[in-house]
Amino acid sequence: MRRAHGVRGAWAVESLNDAPDVLFASGAVLFAGDREGAVALKDGAVQALHIEDGRRMNREWLVRVRELTDRDIADSWRGRYLLADSDTLPPPDEEEVYIGDLIGMSVTVEGQGPVGHVRDVYDAPQGYILEVETAKGRSLVPWHDDLVLDVDDEARIITLAPLDGLLD
């Protein structure tokens, strides 16, 4: 969630999904969380958020949920992710992967072996960028067919082409 919008607690949300019109449709149920998953409340329960309305607003989506009716409370949720229960999502096509599934995957370089793991994924104007955490620090790796050779969903391994200086 980028920011609160309006006085009734709506959010301006950046979608990291190819079907935001489905996720943000009236009646959908999402959960607030971070890159590790849904964030539990003080009592240990996970807060379900019932979508009342979602519509495109420029490059973002304007999303209202039943549980929030106040701008100040909505603004306190800034920076969280809206997560869907993976059991409610259709499986990705054979050559596709959900962006959230990339986070935490091991990263190897062809012919060199493991080098780190995906810490985050960014949606930049030129395409997706993987933030890869290595023993030397963090590097940004553009998602490009010549560079990302393979994504093994089951083994949770991304294989990159060797490229001098990429992960230095």
Whether residue 167 lies inside any domain: the answer is: no
Whether residue 143 lies inside any domain: the answer is: yes
Q: What are phi and psi of 145, to 5 degrees?
A: -55, -30
> Are both 7 and 73 inside the same structural domain?
yes
Mean pLDDT of the chain: 84
The amino acid sitting at 157 is: I
Q: What is the CATH number of the domain that holds 146?
A: 2.30.30.240
Domain residues for the domain of 12 are 3-87
> Are both 43 and 66 inside the same structural domain?
yes
> Are both 55 and 80 inside the same structural domain?
yes
Query: Is 0.75 surpassed by the pTM of this model?
Result: no
| Alpha carbon 140 to its chain's center | 16
Q: How many domains does the chain have?
A: 2
**pLDDT, tens digit (0-9, with 9 covering 90-100), for 35-87:** 676 666 666 677 788 999 998 988 888 888 888 787 887 788 777 788 887 77
Among 46, 64, 87, identify where a domain stops.
87
The confidence score (pLDDT) of residue 42 equals: 60
List of residues 6+ apart from 85 with CB closer than 8 A: 29, 31
